[in-house]
């Protein structure tokens, strides 16, 4: 039995059917005029040999090609791309079934932040009344490590609403290099959660080591195919409309191996895409479709996700603004486009602009979490713990986000209205009205015990101060004290024998840093 | 007449209009000559270059700076104005020497090997151009040798390096090392930047300057320039 996620019965859509067609049509025009610039030779060759118009633009050290992709190639690819993509898991009960035609949402972490936020609670004394003391959360940013990645996977394993794990933090220990980063980040994740693990790849040379590791854990080549416990994200198209040299290679190689892969594009409205909704939508859709088409040309039928990370630029420094209202609009539109093509959608919500948790962060994340969930993307990433536009991860914030998603999931339960419910309700009304107290209280007792009533906010304090963060921190500590279902010792031993580059301290204890 | 055209240049810098096709901020400006056309005309009329630069471009840019401080202007406005000044400087450059005006200096900009992030570097380039420097942008994902070759060929006073990934930051150190190995380290001041880069990191790899954002980048270059003047 796969995980349930939450099925959105009537997904929220901003665009009319006609507008969807207009965007599709505009994207098709973009793919032939101006087309895409490819910095990647293989992509240019693959497109050329499949009937796209490919012309060299520049030669020398960085040769480039102009690739014009005809609509029929795209439609062909959309036909062969699977509508249902399975993302497996070490514990098969945690598998995710993403169906491009079904708006069932799974909630996932992300992304690769450089900064890990520690929290402390120093005591403050009120000047005018020194008897009064409060604990105020203080946040300390520092560079992320392997130990942090393990810790976050451990907590995420126990967060109820969290369906899959994208590596949250960039591991920057002294003994982590370009050549051992991928194996260590995948191992740290896989060894500390039994949920699905997705990540980007730092170095293509590590792909086979990572795939072999997954094969050992899944129990063999065929087993990995049936239960793909890992998948990849690739940002192969850089906005506007450029196939990147190295990531496109990674994408091609992942497709060849048949593992699930996200074709992600992250245009920023105002800088790398038009600010106009029609413009950024037509462009991102063209970019993602170009990637999907390439994937299907490399390996027909290979599982791909329509990856959309559109954002609006901040006006003060032109950084990404995930808190901007338009960012949610674009994401909702993308999820509608993906559904139009029947390809599962990897979408974005929950990221906020401020550096630390607090009021602004709560407002912004809840706003996008609700709206984007309502649009029914199959795989909603970034949703837990992220701050400052993907640059900071705070584990206690992830615990808070779990509470948000419990509320959202509860809200999205289907309306409980049918003949039986109506009949029972009428009976209750008639009975209660006939009593002297006129209260329905006796009827809620059973409901309370059958999870029919939404639980109270779990971090509500009982004083005049805001204790939410302290309570969430306590909850995080409780989750950390719970056992982790690590990979079994025999398999771990085999992995360490066969996969080069793994740090011993991943299994010997993570206190010391090399 | 002289004043008129210089006022117009200043006004169009404030409006951020590079050419006559630009809309600018106020209604009804499209079609009217922009900074490019106006500067061309001013040269033709034989107006003093230093007047164009000082009263037209620099004063215009100062007003833009004040509007930015007052939060009346945003970064995109600032960039449009800087772009207008950059375009003007490009036109003026061949005429500077013959008029005895010393150019502010040349800067080579690049995002280092393995790194495709270039929004920040492009902003820095525009603002430096807007501050009157001649900027040659080598693009992104530029390998160390290409950067060194460009420094040898172009002989810039400054080299600006950008990196946004922790994995590519170290390329900056390689570039500085390669400049040393080629015996040209003391001919160029190296300024580094990008989100993961810090002042401390810049110092640790032996860079001469660091800029946290575009304005800071201009400040860093100007302060190196005044150091040079003093030294
Ligand atoms: C936009 C963006 C992209 C765009 C880039 C588009 C483009 N044309 O540049 C795309 C989508 C292509 C992209 C791709 C990737 N990205 Co990216 N990206 C970002 C993002 C969100 C914003 C960067 C940006 O443009 N900021 C706005 C500009 C204005 O700010 P800035 O660059 O910092 O520049 C200012 C200053 O730093 C300074 N400055 C900059 N350069 C210089 C130079 C000098 C000389 C001076 C003085 C000053 C200076 O002045 C600038 C102007 O104020 C950052 C997150 C972040 N908050 O930084 C992630 C981020 C940098 N990316 C990240 C990652 C992981 C990637 C990918 C690997 C993703 C993937 N899985 O494929 C790829 C890498 C591709 C590659 N090989 O480079 C990570 C990096 C983590 C790490 N390992 O270090 C970040 C931090 C996001 C995250 N947490 O996941 N990315």
Question: Does the beta carbon of A203 lie inside 6 Å of ligand 1?
Answer: no
Are A292 and B51 within 8 A, CB to CB? Answer: no
* Chain centre to alpha carbon of residue A228: 17
Whole-angstrom Cα distance, residue B30 to residue B42? 20
Query: How many other CB atoms sit within 10 Å of the CB of residue A420?
Result: 9
Same domain, yes or no, for B143 and B200?
yes
Query: Tell me, what's the pLDDT at B3?
Result: 64
Same domain, yes or no, for B146 and B173?
yes
Query: Tell me, what's the pLDDT at A92?
Result: 96
Query: Tell me, what's the pLDDT at A258?
Result: 97
Of A181-195, A249-263, B30-44, where does mean pLDDT reach its minimum? B30-44
Distance B96 CA to ligand 1 centre (A): 37
Query: Tell me, what's the pLDDT at B27?
Result: 82
> Residue A30: enclosing H or E segment and its boundaries?
helix A17-32
* Residue span of the structural domain in which B172 resides: 106-230
Same domain, yes or no, for B125 and B164?
yes
Query: How many other CB atoms sit within 10 Å of the CB of residue A177?
Result: 13
> Residue A96: enclosing H or E segment and its boundaries?
strand A96-99
Q: Hey, which CATH number is domain A6-16+78-411, 3.40.50.1000, 3.30.390.30, 1.10.3720.10, 3.20.20.480?
A: 3.20.20.480
Q: Is the per-residue pLDDT at A464 higher than 80?
A: no
Domain ranges of chain A: 6-16+78-411, 419-449
> Residue B108: enclosing H or E segment and its boundaries?
strand B106-111
Where does a domain end: B60, B82, B98? B98
By C-alpha distance, the chain B residue nearest A317 is: B75
Whole-angstrom Cα distance, residue A353 to residue A324? 9
Within an 8 Å CB–CB cutoff, is residue B72 touching chain A? no
Where does a domain end: B50, B82, B98? B98
Where does a domain end: B98, B129, B156? B98
**What sign has the CA pseudo-torsion A54, A55, A57, A60?**
positive
Arithmetic mean of pLDDT, A175-189: 96
Same domain, yes or no, for B80 and B110?
no
Same domain, yes or no, for B160 and B201?
yes
Task: Name the percent of chain A lying above pLDDT 90.
Answer: 89
Q: Which residues pair with A125 in a beta bridge?
A: A133
pLDDT in tens, A195-227: 999 999 999 999 999 999 999 999 999 999 999
SS3 of residue A110 by DSSP: coil
The alpha carbons of chain B give a radius of gyration, in whole angstroms, of 18
Same domain, yes or no, for B14 and B51?
yes
**Are the Cβ atoms of A315 and B167 closer than 8 angstroms?**
no
Question: Does the beta carbon of A265 lie inside 6 Å of ligand 1?
Answer: no
The encoded tokens of residue A226 equal 């049936």
> Could you tell me which of A379, A384, A395 has the C-alpha nearest to residue A198?
A379
Mutation target vs A (from B139, B149, B167; most A CBs, 10 A cutoff): B167
Whole-angstrom Cα distance, residue A49 to residue A183? 35
Query: How many other CB atoms sit within 10 Å of the CB of residue A367?
Result: 17
Of A67-71, A346-350, A446-450, where does mean pLDDT reach its minimum? A446-450
Within an 8 Å CB–CB cutoff, is residue A283 touching chain B? no
Query: Tell me, what's the pLDDT at A317?
Result: 85
Same domain, yes or no, for B90 and B166?
no
Query: Tell me, what's the pLDDT at A510?
Result: 58
pLDDT band, very low/low/confident/very high, at B1 (cuts 50, 70, 90): low
Arithmetic mean of pLDDT, A7-15: 97
Whole-angstrom Cα distance, residue B16 to residue A171? 43
What pTM was estimated for this model as a whole?
Answer: 0.88
Whole-angstrom Cα distance, residue A74 to residue A24? 11
Query: Tell me, what's the pLDDT at A514?
Result: 37
In SS3 terms, A11-22 reads as CCCCCCHHHHHH
Arithmetic mean of pLDDT, A71-79: 98
Arithmetic mean of pLDDT, B17-36: 89
Same domain, yes or no, for B48 and B154?
no
Identity of the residue in B75, B141, B143 whose CB atom sits nearest the CB atom of A315 = B75
Chain B closest CA to A114's CA: distance in Å? 8
pLDDT in tens, A466-506: 889 999 999 999 999 999 999 999 999 999 999 999 999 99
Q: Is the per-residue pLDDT at A308 higher than 90?
A: yes
Domain count for chain B: 2
Arithmetic mean of pLDDT, B31-49: 92
Burial class (CB in 10 A: 0-12, 13-18, 19+), B69: exposed
> Could you tell me which of B32, B138, B14 has the C-alpha nearest to residue B83?
B14
Q: Is the per-residue pLDDT at A2 higher than 80?
A: yes
CATH of the domain at B46: 1.10.1240.10
Query: Tell me, what's the pLDDT at A195?
Result: 98
Same domain, yes or no, for B222 and B119?
yes
Angle at A243 between CA A238 and CA A245, to 5 degrees: 105
Query: Tell me, what's the pLDDT at B23?
Result: 86
Same domain, yes or no, for B31 and B114?
no
Set of chain B residues whose Cβ sits within 8 Å of the Cβ of A270: 76
The encoded tokens of residue A155 equal 């907590």
Are A231 and A261 within 8 A, CB to CB? Answer: yes
pLDDT in tens, A143-181: 999 999 999 999 999 999 999 999 999 999 999 999 999
**Is the model more confident about B71 or about A90?**
A90
**Side-chain-facing half-sphere of B93: CA atoms under 13 Å:** 15
Arithmetic mean of pLDDT, B173-189: 96
Omega cis (within 30) before A111: yes
Question: Does the beta carbon of A353 lie inside 6 Å of ligand 1?
Answer: no
> Could you tell me which of A340, A411, A410 has the C-alpha nearest to residue A377?
A340
Task: Name the percent of chain B lying above pLDDT 70.
Answer: 97
Residue indicated by tokens 């536009």: A389
Identity of the residue in A181, A244, A391 whose CB atom sits nearest the CB atom of B116 = A244
Same domain, yes or no, for B111 and B225?
yes
Of A125-139, A145-159, A270-284, A454-468, where does mean pLDDT reach its minimum? A454-468
Q: Which residue has the least CA distance to atom 12 on ligand 1? A: A238
Query: Whole-number mean pLDDT of chain A?
Result: 95
Mutation target vs B (from A38, A58, A62, A311; most B CBs, 10 A cutoff): A62
Query: Tell me, what's the pLDDT at B231?
Result: 54
Identity of the residue in A114, A238, A317 whose CB atom sits nearest the CB atom of B116 = A238
Set of chain B residues whose Cβ sits within 8 Å of the Cβ of A181: 167
Of A78-87, A313-322, A405-414, where does mean pLDDT reach its minimum? A313-322
**Are the Cβ atoms of A391 and B195 closer than 8 angstroms?**
yes
Q: Is the per-residue pLDDT at A131 higher than 60?
A: yes
Atom nearest to A268 CA in ligand 1: 1
Same domain, yes or no, for B83 and B149?
no
pLDDT band, very low/low/confident/very high, at A62 (cuts 50, 70, 90): confident
Residues 6+ apart with CB under 8 A from A247: A234, A235, A236
């Amino acid at each position: 039995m796969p995980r349930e996620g939450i099925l959105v019965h009537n997904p929220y859509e901003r665009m009319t059917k006609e507008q969807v067609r207009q965007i599709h049509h505009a994207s098709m025009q973009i793919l032939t005029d101006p087309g895409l610039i490819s910095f990647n030779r293989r992509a240019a060759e693959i497109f050329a040999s499949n009937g796209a118009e490919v012309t060299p633009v520049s030669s020398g050290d960085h040769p480039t090609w102009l690739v014009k992709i005809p609509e029929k190639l795209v439609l062909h690819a959309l036909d062969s791309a699977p509508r249902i993509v399975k993302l497996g898991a070490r514990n098969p009960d945690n598998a995710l079934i993403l169906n491009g035609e079904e708006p069932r949402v799974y909630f996932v972490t992300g992304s690769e932040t450089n900064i890990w936020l520690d929290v402390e609670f120093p005591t403050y004394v009120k000047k005018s009344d020194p008897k009064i003391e409060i604990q105020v959360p203080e946040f300390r940013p520092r560079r992320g490590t392997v130990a942090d990645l393990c810790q976050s996977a451990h907590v995420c394993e126990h967060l109820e609403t969290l369906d899959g794990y994208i590596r949250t933090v960039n591991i920057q220990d002294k003994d982590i290099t370009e050549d051992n980063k991928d194996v260590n980040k995948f191992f740290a994740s896989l060894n500390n959660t039994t949920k699905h693990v997705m990540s980007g790849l730092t170095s293509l040379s590590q792909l086979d080591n990572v795939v072999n590791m997954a094969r050992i854990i899944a129990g063999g080549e065929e087993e990995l195919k049936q239960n793909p416990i890992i998948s990849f994200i690739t940002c192969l198209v850089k906005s506007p409309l450029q196939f990147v040299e190295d990531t496109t290679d990674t994408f091609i190689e992942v497709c060849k191996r048949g593992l699930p892969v996200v074709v992600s594009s992250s245009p920023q409205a105002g800088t790398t895409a038009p600010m106009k909704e029609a413009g950024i939508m037509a462009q991102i859709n063209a970019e993602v479709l170009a990637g999907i088409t390439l994937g299907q040309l490399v390996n027909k039928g290979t599982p791909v996700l329509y990856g959309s990370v559109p954002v609006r630029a901040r006006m003060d420094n032109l950084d990404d603004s995930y808190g901007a209202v338009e960012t949610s609009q674009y994401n909702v539109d993308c999820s509608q486009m993906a559904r139009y093509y029947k390809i599962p959608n990897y979408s974005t919500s929950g990221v906020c602009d401020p550096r630390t948790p607090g009021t602004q962060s709560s407002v912004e994340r809840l706003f996008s979490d609700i709206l984007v969930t309502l649009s029914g993307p199959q795989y909603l990433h970034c949703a837990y713990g992220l701050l400052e536009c993907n640059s900071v991860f705070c584990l206690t914030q992830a615990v808070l986000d779990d509470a948000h998603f419990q509320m959202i999931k509860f809200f999205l339960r289907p309306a409980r209205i049918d003949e039986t419910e109506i009949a029972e309700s009428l009976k209750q009304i008639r009975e209660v009205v006939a009593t002297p107290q006129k209260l329905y209280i006796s009827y809620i007792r059973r409901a309370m015990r059958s999870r029919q009533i939404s639980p109270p906010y779990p971090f509500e304090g009982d004083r005049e101060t805001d204790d939410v963060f302290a309570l969430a921190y306590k909850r995080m500590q409780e989750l950390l004290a719970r056992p982790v279902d690590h990979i079994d010792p025999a398999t771990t031993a085999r992995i360490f024998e066969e996969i080069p580059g793994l740090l011993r301290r991943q299994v010997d204890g993570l206190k010391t840093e090399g | 007449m002289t004043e008129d055209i210089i006022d117009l240049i200043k006004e169009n810098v404030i409006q951020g209009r590079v050419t006559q096709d630009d809309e600018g901020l106020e209604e009804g400006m499209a079609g009217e000559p922009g900074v490019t056309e106006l500067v061309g005309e001013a040269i033709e009329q034989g107006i003093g270059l230093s007047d164009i630069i000082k009263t037209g471009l620099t004063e215009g840019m100062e007003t833009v700076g004040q509007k930015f401080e007052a939060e009346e202007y945003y970064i995109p406005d600032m960039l449009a104005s800087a772009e207008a000044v950059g375009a003007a400087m490009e036109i003026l450059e061949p005429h500077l020497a013959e008029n005895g005006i010393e150019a502010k200096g040349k800067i080579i900009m690049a995002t280092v090997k393995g790194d495709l992030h270039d929004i920040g570097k492009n902003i820095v380039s525009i603002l430096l151009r807007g501050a009157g420097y001649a900027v040659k942008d080598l693009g992104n994902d530029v390998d160390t040798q290409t950067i060194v070759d460009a420094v040898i060929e172009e002989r810039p006073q400054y080299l600006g390096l950008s990196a946004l990934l922790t994995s590519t930051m170290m390329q900056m150190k390689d570039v500085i090392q390669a400049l040393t190995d080629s015996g040209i380290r003391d001919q160029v001041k190296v300024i580094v930047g990008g989100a993961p880069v810090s002042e401390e990191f810049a110092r640790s790899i032996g860079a001469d300057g660091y800029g946290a954002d575009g304005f800071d980048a201009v400040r860093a270059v100007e302060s190196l320039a005044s150091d040079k003047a003093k030294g």
